[in-house]
Structures are given as structure tokens and as C-alpha cells.
Amino acid sequence: MFARRFPGQRHSCDRFHRGGRAIAPDSGVTMKVVGIAGSLLSQAYVRRLLDAAGKELPTSADFRIWDGLDRIPPVSGDTLPRPVEDLCQALSAADGVIIAAPAHSVLPAQLVHALDWMSSSHGNWALLGKPVIVLTSCVHPYESMWTQTLLRRSLSAAGALVHSADLPTKPTPTRFDPDGRLADPKARHHLRKALTHLRPPTLTATITIPTQRTMTSAH
């Protein structure tokens, strides 16, 4: 189930929150985008960065943030856990994905678990042929090198079309305006440019999904 998210409001009955309205030109075509923040903290910088990205999408886009990262277990066994099944279904139904991750030499464990599921046969190839935008924000490009490299490797293994964007701004709360958008014009330009990759090319419809064994869902 999806829920609309308002500023300062949290919902515990579902694993999704609705992103803010966009200011970019409306294309008139509905696009479903799922956002994943590589941090479990609701006020983490990467979470706010993800919210800001949602505000730059066309008003016709249906942008939802996945809030179930803390429930994703490590890959194991032949049973597909319910949280993983829900994530697979959400990603399969999406036209594109945005991942905002902290720039560290080691990825957060929960994000690693989710990527491991998606890059294994257990993940039902939910990301196959889908455009995925990886967002980091650092003053110096080299600071995000490890994060971008690790995410690109895992996402590419899952069959995703990966596009990276490191926004040239310090990870501080003052980098957002009162509406929650990026205040730095240069960073905002880079963000908007990255988001143009969310439309998958038409040739992805011809991609053949590899043969996989059937798994039992755990409910």
C-alpha cells in the first residue's frame, strides 16, 4: 500500500512515502519512480537529497520513497522474505529508480542486503533494463568514488542501466531551501541533468530475462 507523505508526517502502516510536487515541465506522461535512501535516519542528508530529487521530477511523475530498507535481511535460503518480495514488486512496477547514498568507503549494510537480493536470481531481475540514478553529494569528486563504484558494480550485476551524479555541494542542512529543494544552482543543474536519464530506452523491451529457479514467498 502507498501513502502520501506530508512534511513532518510519518506513516507506519506501509513501506512507501509520497515525494513532493515537482517544478520541472510536465511531460503529460505518467512515470513511476521509486526512491531509496541509503540511510535509515529519517532526517539524514541523503534522505533530504532524495526528497529534493523528487521535487525536480515532472508533475506527472509518481514518485515514492521506499521505507522498508531496515527490514531487508541478508540473502539466504530458498525462501523469498516478504519485505524483499514487496521491494521486488515495487521495483518491477517502476519506470526508474533513484538511490541517494552516503559517500563512504563502505556501503550501509542494509543497502548492501537490498542490492545483493536484486543482483541475485532471487530478486526476480526486478531491475533488469531499468534506469537507476545514483546520487551522492561531496565537495570533492574523489570522496564519492568508492560509493559510486560499489553501487555501479552491484546495480550493473542486477541488469540496471546505471547513471551516476555527484552533486558539488557540502552535505549540510543549509544546502536546501525552505521548500526542500537544493539551494545551490550548480548542484540543482547537475541533479536535473541526471534525472533526464530516468526514461529507459525502447530497446530494453527486447531484453531477455535469464532463466531462474522459482522461489517460495514467505508471508
Query: What cell numbers appear for 48 in the block?
Result: 533530504
Query: What cell numbers appear for 60 in the block?
Result: 506527472
Q: Residue 67: which of 137, 2, 132, 162 has the closest Cα?
A: 2
For the segment 127-150, what is each residue's pLDDT rounded down to a tens digit?
A: 999 999 999 877 666 767 888 888
pLDDT at 214 over 80: no
More confident residue, 2 or 15: 15
CB 39 within 8 A of CB 66: no
More confident residue, 43 or 192: 192
Q: Partners of 37 in the beta sheet?
A: 100
Residue-level pLDDT at 213: 42
- Cα separation, 124 vs 110, whole angstroms: 19
Residue-level pLDDT at 6: 26
pLDDT at 219 over 70: no
For 121, the enclosing helix (H) or strand (E) is: none
pLDDT at 12 over 50: no
CB 52 within 8 A of CB 180: yes
Q: Residue 210: which of 159, 143, 140 has the closest Cα?
A: 159
For the segment 24-75, what is each residue's pLDDT rounded down to a tens digit?
A: 444 454 789 999 998 877 678 889 899 999 999 988 899 999 989 999 999 9
Q: Is the dihedral of CA 16, 127, 199, 105 positive or negative?
A: positive
For the question of whether the overall pTM of this predicted structure is more than 0.85, the answer is no
Within a 10 A sphere around the Cβ of 174, how many other Cβ atoms?
9
- Cα separation, 108 vs 94, whole angstroms: 23
pLDDT range class, residue 124, cuts 50, 70, 90: confident
CB 64 within 8 A of CB 33: yes
Residue labelled with grid coordinates 521530477: 57
For the segment 145-182, what is each residue's pLDDT rounded down to a tens digit?
A: 888 888 999 999 999 999 988 887 666 667 889 999 99
More confident residue, 35 or 198: 35
pLDDT range class, residue 79, cuts 50, 70, 90: confident
pLDDT at 192 over 70: yes
Strand pairing class (79-80; 216-217): parallel
For the segment 93-114, what is each residue's pLDDT rounded down to a tens digit?
A: 999 999 998 877 678 889 999 9
Domains along the sequence of the chain with CATH:
18-198 (3.40.50.360)
For 191, the enclosing helix (H) or strand (E) is: helix 185-195
Q: Find all residues with CB under 8 Å of 14, minimum gap 6, and list them.
A: 1, 2, 3, 67
Q: SS3 of 31, please?
A: strand
